[in-house]
Chains A and B, each alone.
Chain A
Amino acid sequence: MCTWVGWVVLVGSLWAQSAAAQVVNEGRLLASGCFQCHGTSGLKGGFGTLAGVGKEDMLNKLNNDMRAKDARSSIMNPHARGYTSYQLSLIADYFSKLPKP
């Protein structure tokens, strides 16, 4: 757990990097493509809830189940194949750090 001093240093360094907006949260930006079906921030979309799903669980499902050739008839197959492994890990990381509903 970070100390308050740590936060001040962290916030200070963020401020020092100027307000020029970089991509603040790449995982979140990539994951926003999931929101239409899975809900904003992975909640209440009607399809599966993604908020709080473990990173390893999600990556395992994306990489091993959904990317598989015999999953070609699944709507998730083209989605899973549309990202690099690195991008998928950013997405899974983002969802895993959201609080579980």
Chain B
Amino acid sequence: MMNRRHFLDTLGVGSLVALAPMAVRAAPLKRVVVVGGGMAGATAAKYLRLWSNKTVDVTLVDTSTKYVSNTKYVSNIMSNLVVTGQYAPTILDYGWSNLVKNHGVKLLNGTVTQVEPGGSLGAWKVTVTKGTTITVLYCERVVLAPGVKFDAVPSTVNPAVAAPILHGGEQAGTQDPDAHARPLRDCRSNCSREIGTKRTRSRGANRLGCARCASNSTRGVRPITFQPPGIANGYTLVC
């Protein structure tokens, strides 16, 4: 049964227009252009569609040429599970196909070269260039999510300079910069990591241990109790 809060949630602005007697005039256009399809832009595009009950028109512009199929961006969320070696980096890859299929986001491939006031055709005019093709979009809002570009620092320019580890227990250059990951690394070098097999738990219900020797040398690793979306089988940690 639908309670009051849920009912209100599901009421988009479009439904309010439909119910309001005075809303004879045409509904105002609600168009958004999202510039950049990384985790920020993709999230903005998804929730604009989801929380507006698809009443907001969303176009996602990205420079990637590999749209829809075989496409990916990398999200840092859940990267802690990659840092600890529990999952392969590929669990951080996401595509846009669900944005199109489930949420009706429009994709446009190209580079945004200009954003300017749109005059009578919309609040903003966004110019997208791809090769010699120029596409002009008019919209009421623009979301700029083009990503970051890192400035060069010694450790990125000179391979001899160790990169500082932000969350490590020890600083680079002092002792072992990977001290926090040592138990897992040792586990991996002693044995091997089996990919594509079902996870095995040992030493009690809440502890993920080594599937082969049942030891808990994966010290510091929290138990994994989930299956990442899109991964058929998890990893077995063995040591």
Q: Could you list which residues of chain A lie within 8 angstroms of chain B, going by C-beta atoms?
A: 2, 11-12, 14-15, 19, 21, 24-25, 28, 32, 36-37, 40, 44-47, 73-75, 94, 97-99
Contact = CB atoms under 8 A, between A and B. Distances in A.
B196 to A, nearest CB: 17
**Interface residue SS majority, chain B:** loop
B222 A32 contact: no
Contacts of A74: 222
Given A14-B16, A46-B226, A73-B222, A97 B77 contact: no
Given A11-B19, A19-B16, A97-B5, 20 more contacts: A14-B16, A21-B13, A25-B8, A28-B51, A36-B75, A36-B78, A37-B78, A40-B50, A44-B229, A45-B226, A45-B229, A46-B226, A46-B229, A47-B225, A74-B222, A75-B80, A75-B222, A97-B6, A99-B2, A99-B6
Contacts of A36: 75, 77-78
A46 B4 contact: no
Contact of B9 (A15, A19, A28, A47): A28
A2 B222 CA distance: 47
Interface of B: 2-6, 8-9, 11, 13, 16, 19-20, 47, 50-51, 75, 77-78, 80, 222, 225-229
